[in-house]
Amino acid sequence: MKITRMTRRQLAGAVLTTAASAQTPPSRPPAPDGELQAARERNRRTSEALAAAWTKAKAPIETEPAFHFTA
């Protein structure tokens, strides 16, 4: 029986290749039109609510602290 030597890089490559092929996500079927439309409607309502809250919560520039960033 002949023993072959394997470098750490070869071993890491073999392990990563195996791990990458095992993590392939399963394909999902496309969402039905009704679910997609409902999700879009929820997103639209949420964005409108957030925009309305943002306009009410704006503060004048004088009340905000001055920032000075240095690298």
The string of pLDDT tens digits covering residues 56-71 is 776 676 776 677 767 6
Type and span of the H or E element at 37: helix 33-57
Measured between alpha carbons, how far is 64 from 2 in angstroms, rounded to an integer? 74
The CA–CA distances, whole Å, from 70 to 35, 64, 67 equal: 48, 19, 10
| pLDDT value for 36 | 87
Domain ranges of the chain: 32-56
Measured between alpha carbons, how far is 34 from 62 in angstroms, rounded to an integer? 48
Instruction: Write out pLDDT tens, residues 16-48.
Output: 776 666 666 667 776 688 888 989 999 999 999
| pLDDT value for 55 | 77
| pLDDT value for 5 | 78
